[in-house]
Amino acid sequence: GENVEQHPSTLSVQEGDSAVIKCTYSDSASNYFPWYKQELGKRPQLIIDIRSNVGEKKDQRIAVTLNKTAKHFSLHITETQPEDSAVYFCAASKNPGTYKYIFGTGTRLKVLA
Amino acid sequence: SAVISQKPSRDICQRGTSLTIQCQVDSQVTMMFWYRQQPGQSLTLIATANQGSEATYESGFVIDKFPISRPNLTFSTLTVSNMSPEDSSIYLCSVELGLKNIQYFGAGTRLSVL
């Protein structure tokens, strides 16, 4: 069935360093890839997304890259800050299609001050 | 985005009872989704709820255990029936806005079953 693998499960970086989280999807028909940030006890919040017609998207310190051939996409956070500490989830979806998201297993990011 | 209100925010229930969770949106949406998030885990889709049709359940989830209502374009309920401690989890609703396949989440319901 459809599957999204996410690595690493935990990631610790020093404040100011970069963090990279990688996801691989199985369904080649997937064409929409959102990233969510979930702080402890809070709801998942969309932070960035990318569609299959582009290879990279950037929003200030956050960027996402997509390699359709290899079926993987990555989240890049530069100049990390303590408030970036959270759990990050990637997801894959097909639109038009089922619209449902298949989520990765999550990455717990700790930014050390 | 939209304002998504989910209630209750948390509850402690006895084994064998049922709990109904409500999700209210401040705008009309076609697609609503219900997820389960077990402690420290990812989000697992329970079902998709479209107004005017029966909910579509994912593998491992059945209507008798998780009945869903979707009476209009701004509201849905999820019932967790005949609860056991294994049902202790966070339940989240989400809505798809703007026909762009972007989902926004409610704050979740933290359920503990004793």
Over its length of 114 residues, how does chain B's per-residue pLDDT go in tens digits? Answer: 789 999 999 999 999 999 999 999 999 988 899 999 998 899 999 999 988 888 999 999 999 999 999 999 999 999 999 999 999 999 999 998 876 778 999 999 999 999
Contact yes or no for B92 and A49 at CB 8 A? no
Q: Which helix (H) or strand (E) holds A57?
A: strand A56-59
With an 8 Å Cβ cutoff, is B90 touching chain A? Answer: no
* Residue A99 C-alpha, separation from nearest chain B C-alpha, in angstroms: 6
Q: What CA–CA distance (Å, rounded) separates B67 from B77?
A: 8
- How open is the CA angle B90-B59-A107, to the nearest 5 degrees? 45
Query: Quick one: closest CA in A to B31, which residue?
Result: A99
Reported residue count of chain A is 113
Count of Cβ atoms closer than 10 Å to residue A23 Cβ = 26
**Is the per-residue pLDDT at A97 higher than 80?**
no
DSSP state of B24: E
The token pair that represents A72 in the structure block:
């993987």
With an 8 Å Cβ cutoff, is B42 touching chain A? Answer: yes
Give A103's contacts in chain B (Cβ within 8 Å): 42-44
Q: What CA–CA distance (Å, rounded) separates A31 from A50?
A: 8
